[in-house]
Structure 1
């Protein structure tokens, strides 16, 4: 990245902070940076009756410590290299929030997110030249008490199919993401209808890992000629597995706004944030090749020789990423402090992500959208 681009990006971030500062006047100058765990004198009556307000007035907005947990069922778009009729896959994730808000309208919040997928492969079972090793009696119906260990181990029949096969895998959408946020929050004066706005700004770190795999299998004769099936001349098989992995480590800042309105037992809320970050990328690729020579092509053919080769390459680079998060939810209060919530979310990193097996294609997007359901405590 050139010095000019770096200065431009720093200027944009600084300008955004300066523009946002006048909105955040609600913070008192004497407000301490950190709050003691018992600062708010909690009474620990989590199951007290719901506070519905006095004389028809809407209940006050909550202060003190709060916590949230959400379970996500979310859709992840596929990398550009995996274009198919279906443009994404569903997976599961978790979101954890903890923080506090003082009576003067100032607080802090910490958010942790993990999405553990998707893990979508296309798999083909490919029989090997000697489809069954007759000597491996333990796997072909022999006496289970008469174990005959096969050496080397790779000459055994696969325990899942009772034959000698390769599981050829083609990755379609394989990734996972973990992120953390640390935000300073403010609560502005309520509107006439009782709803409030809570602007926030803070730091954000998130890590996105993307994996790529392609397996190939080909048989030839000893002159390396691939003969058409069926044939009885191919005694040499070549299995190649190409595995690539991207690690996208993103560090940056964000600005956001949360809207909240309480209506009886219901709390309606929505939030949106925009972020920008520098993405420090690392790419690693590994190619494993197994070449096996047989003395024939029938079942039980013996292995004459087997060779392994491994080639590894790697690269590092960086990209500037930007994107947004949007969440809307409704929470129903079971008790004074405990509520069940449900909603929807959309998040997108517009560009700057490495996801495919091409080291030059390191500027793809990453989109998630789905449903969430969770539990709130004093939120």
Structure 2
């Protein structure tokens, strides 16, 4: 073989190997998705100008990568359907809570994931502040410790029950009768897709996912009784009578609590969408979700009592100011449980108006409505398993890179 032919063959082999290597690199050296691709220099507070916004197409303004939001919720809640409240189920009681969202949108595929946690608590009760027989503890006010050898060296009263109420200079009970006490939590995991912008710049993001909700409804009834009521002839409970001679412990008080705590554990499937549109620095957005699933219900009922007996007050002697109790006795009955299952359906809708402050940070305000249309058990009344619950009100929050 001549030298010329050998040289030509070697050059051909080198060219083929180079081409194959280039093709392999193009096909296989695809970099993985960078989880911090949305802003690796963390310039969240970099200013953004009107000219920048005018030049950006709607598709470009829809951020990709990680994003997060926080909203303060001020949602009213409806009352339960009970014979105690009668027609009061249409009344609303104010509540408050928080909403957190975190998600990720793939830059190239326009798909992502969204996690949402929403919690809102409503509290409404008729409360009467009842002074204790001993209105205040002198030792607590003067900062002196009990004579007991178990007392700490910093002037705290032992036991803690003998002290004044935390933050006050007096001793009292807040006697409560609940009207609407419910704690609501919701956890969502959604798969999202981002569609192409519409003619006027709006973008639709369909979603499908699962939703786990918890609603703890509390029915509380409290009564306060004391031996001081017996002086006027109003005998309310079998405590030592102060008008009888020879009774060693003749001053006592008791608070009784009858509680029914109903837990609703709800697991549902859901689907929905998010629609948003930019106009200058403003962004209009709306979310809608509909969910359906099963509710596992369980109600716990028990009675608690706290009896306080004082060392003073024999015969016609009046209580000594600041005298500590001699004993405190607490009792609680064995809880009873009732369980049930119901089919659940509802929806969640909200609308918001945001204003872009910096490159990645926006503020927003809006409203939210959460409607559980059926399948909720409230107030612990047996048989009232299929109730509804609505929450709606205003929201105020921040967004990061969304």
TM range (shorter): 0.7 to 0.9
Once residues 345 and 180 of structure 2 are traced to their aligned partners in structure 1, the CA distance between those partners, rounded to angstroms, is 22
Alignment deviations for residues 214-243 of structure 1 (CA, whole Å, 9 cap, x no partner): 111345899xx9549xx9759676532112
After TM superposition, the structure 1 = structure 2 runs for residues 49-88 of structure 1, keeping only pairs within 5 Å, are: 49-50=48-49, 51-54=52-55, 60-65=60-65, 66-81=67-82, 83=85, 86-88=91-93
Once residues 360 and 373 of structure 2 are traced to their aligned partners in structure 1, the CA distance between those partners, rounded to angstroms, is 38
- Structure 2 residue aligned with 1:310: 332
- Structure 2 residue aligned with 1:374: 397
Q: Decide whether aligned partners of structure 1 residues 61 and 277 sit closer, same or farther in structure 2, where only a CA change above 3 A counts.
A: farther
Unpaired runs of 5+ in structure 1? 1-34
How many residue pairs get matched? Answer: 334
- Is the aligned partner of 1:283 residue 2:294? no
Once residues 132 and 40 of structure 1 are traced to their aligned partners in structure 2, the CA distance between those partners, rounded to angstroms, is 63
- Structure 2 residue aligned with 1:253: 269
Alignment deviations for residues 10-45 of structure 1 (CA, whole Å, 9 cap, x no partner): xxxxxxxxxxxxxxxxxxxxxxxxx84438474534
Q: More helix by proportion, 1 or 2?
A: 2
SS in 1 for 2:195: coil
After TM superposition, the structure 1 = structure 2 runs for residues 1-379 of structure 1, keeping only pairs within 5 Å, are: 36-38=33-35, 40=37, 42-44=39-41, 45-46=43-44, 47=46, 49-50=48-49, 51-54=52-55, 60-65=60-65, 66-81=67-82, 83=85, 86-115=91-120, 117-127=121-131, 130-131=133-134, 137-138=138-139, 145=144, 147=146, 156=162, 158-159=164-165, 165-218=172-225, 226-227=234-235, 239-290=255-306, 296=315, 298-300=318-320, 308-311=330-333, 312-379=335-402
Q: Decide whether aligned partners of structure 1 residues 286 and 152 sit closer, same or farther in structure 2, where only a CA change above 3 A counts.
A: farther
TM-score, structure 2 as length reference: 0.70
Q: Decide whether aligned partners of structure 1 residues 98 and 232 sit closer, same or farther in structure 2, where only a CA change above 3 A counts.
A: same
Alignment deviations for residues 237-269 of structure 1 (CA, whole Å, 9 cap, x no partner): 653211222221111110102111111222111
Once residues 292 and 264 of structure 1 are traced to their aligned partners in structure 2, the CA distance between those partners, rounded to angstroms, is 67
* Larger of the two Rg values belongs to structure: 2
Contact 1:122 1:171 in 2 (8 A): yes
SS in 2 for 1:168: strand
Q: Decide whether aligned partners of structure 1 residues 292 and 96 sit closer, same or farther in structure 2, where only a CA change above 3 A counts.
A: same
**Once superposed, what is the RMSD of the aligned Cα atoms?**
3.7
SS in 2 for 1:118: strand
Unpaired runs of 5+ in structure 2? 1-31, 152-156, 245-249
